[in-house]
Chains A and B, each alone.
Chain A
Amino acid sequence: MIRLFQLLALCLAISACQKETLVEKANREGIFLMGNGAEPKSLDHQMVTGVPESKIVGALFEGLVGDHPSDDAATPPGAAESWTHNEDMTEWVFKLQPNGRWSDGAPVTAHDFVFSYHRMLSPALAAPYVEMLYFIDQAEEFNKEEITDFEKVGVKALDDLTLQIKLKEPVPFLPSLTRHYTWFPVPRHVIIQHGEMSDRFTDWSEFPNLVGNGPFKLAVWRFHDLIEVERNPYYWDAKNVHLNGIRFLPIENPYTETRAFRAGQLHTTYRLPTDLIRDMLENEPEQLRQEPYVGTVFIRFNTTRPALSDPRVRQALSMTINRSDYCEYIAEGYTPATSLTPQMGEYSAEPMLEFNPEKARQLLAEAGYPDGEGFPRYSILISRPAARAGAEALQAMWRQHLNILVDIQNKDWGSYIGAQQSLDYDMAAAGWIGDYLDPTTFLNMWTEGNGNNNTAWHNERYEQLLDEAAVQSEPARRFDLMRQAETILMKEQPIAPISWYARNYLLRPEVKGWYPLLLDNHPWKSVRLESSASPSISTE
């Protein structure tokens, strides 16, 4: 049987020996091949919330401010060539690129942006990510139908190329915020051809109707097979676009994706399974990327559970998590968290989290559970098989240091989310990825009634500090208030942060113009392929 296989392999090798790999062919053609994790829900970026969608949308559309290939803080021009703001940063004026064009040649105007925000905020559209626009004055009121006149919302086209945005409070990070796809424009002239402004899912966003203002335009879309984009000749900065096209492959199985990469079918992968990291480190370290990513892994506590309502118990549980061991053995490449918000720009939170089993035992005793006696048998809720190892590590740590037993409860994704939203859980292994580079993306969710809180915890002083920070336009003072708020959060611990995310993935050496970025939004126009750098990918 083995002989037969070898013979078959030999025949195939002979037939295939003249053939170049898909990556080599793509290098020649200037096409980038990317594993993209999942089939996008839609390419109407006002209707989606996911990361795979954001990668494709980033090729097809462009926000007011562009992404820099290597500097997270930099704000290069995008659809706007320049911008100014008033003293307290509540009023911003963006000057659009004079030669900005949609991929059908129509000019990109400030009216398109006003139309886009009007559409996104329209109650009838029911855009899932609409809260990202609530920074705009009266936007929330309009979306919740408290006002019906869009004229009152703080966006206005002063002329064809000048867009004015009035905010409800100072937002010093507005340029960074507009890099999020919820702020990208949609083509008014195309949308109204295919239906009313606020019609959900007309076919404007399908091939061949979709028109964007980004460096690429849609060329092929086959479900669960591939989405291909090609150069947009009308793009204002087309001369600085290097690639001729990008193929996004929605490969859901990470092992399949890794095999495809190693077989020369991909330039980069969406992810790398943790158990393959060591193998890559040993065999092909030059293709492995381990980069910080703005996200935090944490344990969410249901503070309505009797024992977990006591902050001392939550602290005790958190203090017995050995975070460095966790990152070394379970979450490779991740950094032990010292607070909730990872370091971003000028902001760094007080390091509050420590590993101190002795103090933890003392706290647990004070809370009425000396040596874990009488502590209820709770369970950790998880939803992916990959989360089991982490939950088992916590199980062992708590048993060893606090003498308490917890179970692991595995639910499918929908039930896992549903259980947290209805507070029908004890503890849940969870995580949060930042939407933009400002601490508010991590801190605002722990307020009363926030749909992402799901701990039943709230604190007046915490919310007061965040409110004060929100109206503060002086950056240092603003961050200081947030730091104080985060300190309260980390004392109370409705969540126990464990580690800060890293992105483990594979990237071929001939890909240039691709640098580590906290939000992982690599500007497609800067990416290029140097085919001469292509090495043999054989491991033998």
Chain B
Amino acid sequence: MIRYLFNRLLQGVIVLIVLFTLTFFLVKALPGGPFQTEKAIPEHAKARMEAYYGLDKPMPVQFVKRATNLLKGDPGVSFRLEGREVSEIISQAFPVSLQLGLVAITIAIGIGIPLGVIAAWKKNTILDYSAMALAMIGICLPSFVIGPILADRFGQKWEVLPAMGWATLNPLFWILPAITLGLVSAAYLSRLTRAGMLDTLNQDFVRTARAKGVSQKDILIRHCLRGGLSPAVAYIGPAFAGIISGSLVIESVFALPGLGTHFIKAIETGDEPVLTGIVLLFGILIILANFATDLLAFWLNPRLRS
């Protein structure tokens, strides 16, 4: 177990180093650069700005400097929101993305798992078909279609929920973006749960339990749920990280102050410090989520422990 943990940690560090190096050189390869504006900046001023940020140095020198600063715990200063620390930007935006992600994954679990269980339980009935059809729609309809439709209906037409914006303490602002974001994961979860549950329901021990006269409810919840949820659980971890890092479209549709907006703007403006900061954060999140998923799988499936 310890050896396994150590291996995972080492892999994580290697992944982060590769991520940083790739992101750094890719963003530098983008055309444009951080000080390219519509109205031309005088050459001498531009040269000064580049010198100020060390952008006039050769690429390897810049890379070593950035890497050293990062190791010292200094993620740098944004080029786009000039003068603002990357840590300040992330510490404002990450809680929004995290909160939105938590609400969205809760919605996804709350809808997806019961739907999957019901579909498996009532296999090949109208309930099963409707649940799976719904899931298919959820998978196929992209969030940039669902988001504007929800905002248009609930926000603009019926005026019952805010059409955009974010308020940390007002749940009314969370509902539409979280539903939009959670629906796709809910759809996947319901299909995975159905498959996992069906697999378990066909096992011998279920037949034995039935023969012993155990009630249907007990079979489902006490005997099958733990095993049947394995595929779904394996999905939840990465899905949660994906929800947090993949809310770019939702943030634009609902004008949310999360990481996605900074991410896109950083790419558009060649804002390397912010971009690498966010990429590394996403990297850490995904590594942690996978790790948590592994631990959960250990707990759910005793055979893995050996």
* A and B physically associate: yes
Q: 1/0 contact trace for A432-465 toward B, CB 8 Å?
A: 0000000000000000001110000000000000
Interface: A201 (CB within 8 A): yes
Chain B minimum-CB-distance residue to A435:
B39
Q: In terms of DSSP, what is the predominant structure of the interface of chain A?
A: loop
* Contact between chains at B52 and A200 (CB < 8 Å): yes
Which among B75-83, B192-200, B280-288, B295-303 touches the partner chain?
A: B75-83
Chain A residues with CB under 8 A of B155: 259-260, 263
Chain A minimum-CB-distance residue to B85:
A203
Can you show 20 pairs from A to B with CB atoms below 8 A apart?
A9-B154, A12-B161, A22-B162, A44-B83, A49-B37, A127-B45, A200-B83, A201-B77, A222-B92, A249-B165, A252-B252, A252-B255, A256-B254, A259-B155, A260-B255, A263-B164, A265-B163, A414-B30, A414-B33, A421-B36
Interface: B293 (CB within 8 A): no
Chain B minimum-CB-distance residue to A127:
B45
Interface: B120 (CB within 8 A): no
Instruction: Tell me which of A1, A39, A201, A256 has the highest count of chain B C-beta atoms within 10 A of its own C-beta.
Output: A256
* Contact between chains at B30 and A265 (CB < 8 Å): no
Which among A63-71, A128-136, A466-474 touches the partner chain?
A: A128-136
Q: Which of B48, B92, B156, B166 contacts A123 (CB 8 A)?
A: B48
With A128-B45, A251-B164 known to touch, is A225 a contact of B52 (CB < 8 Å)? no
Q: Which of B52, B81, B164 contacts A39 (CB 8 A)?
A: B81
Chain B minimum-CB-distance residue to A40:
B81
Chain A minimum-CB-distance residue to B179:
A8
Nearest CB in chain B: distance from A295 CB, A: 12
* Contact between chains at A249 and B255 (CB < 8 Å): yes
Chain B residues with CB under 8 A of A205: 83
Nearest CB in chain A: distance from B67 CB, A: 23
Q: Classify chain A's interface size.
A: 35 or more
Q: 1/0 contact trace for A523-540 toward B, CB 8 Å?
A: 000000000000000111
Interface: A393 (CB within 8 A): no
Interface: B152 (CB within 8 A): yes
Q: 1/0 contact trace for B73-105 toward A, CB 8 Å?
A: 000010011111000010011000000000000
Instruction: Tell me which of B44, B52, B160 has the highest count of chain A C-beta atoms within 10 A of its own C-beta.
Output: B160
Q: 1/0 contact trace for A196-228 toward B, CB 8 Å?
A: 000011110110000000000000001111000
Q: Which of B36, B159, B258 contacts A263 (CB 8 A)?
A: B159
Chain A residues with CB under 8 A of B52: 126, 200
B24-51, CB < 8 A from A: 30-33, 35-46, 48-49
* Contact between chains at A412 and B37 (CB < 8 Å): no
With A451-B40, A451-B42, A452-B40 known to touch, is A259 a contact of B257 (CB < 8 Å)? no
Nearest CB in chain B: distance from A441 CB, A: 11
* Contact between chains at B163 and A451 (CB < 8 Å): no
* Contact between chains at A251 and B255 (CB < 8 Å): yes
Nearest CB in chain A: distance from B169 CB, A: 13
A256, B253: Cα distance in complex, Å = 6
A1-59, CB < 8 A from B: 1, 5, 9, 12-13, 15-16, 21-22, 39, 41-42, 44, 47, 49
* Contact between chains at B37 and A223 (CB < 8 Å): no
With A123-B48, A127-B45, A224-B262 known to touch, is A16 a contact of B39 (CB < 8 Å)? no
Chain B minimum-CB-distance residue to A204:
B83
* Contact between chains at B42 and A201 (CB < 8 Å): no
Interface: B151 (CB within 8 A): yes
Chain A residues with CB under 8 A of B35: 128
A259, B42: Cα distance in complex, Å = 39
A236-256, CB < 8 A from B: 249-253, 255-256
* Contact between chains at B268 and A414 (CB < 8 Å): yes
* Contact between chains at A9 and B257 (CB < 8 Å): no
Instruction: Tell me which of B40, B92, B166, B261 has the highest count of chain A C-beta atoms within 10 A of its own C-beta.
Output: B40
With A47-B82, A253-B253 known to touch, is A128 a contact of B43 (CB < 8 Å)? no
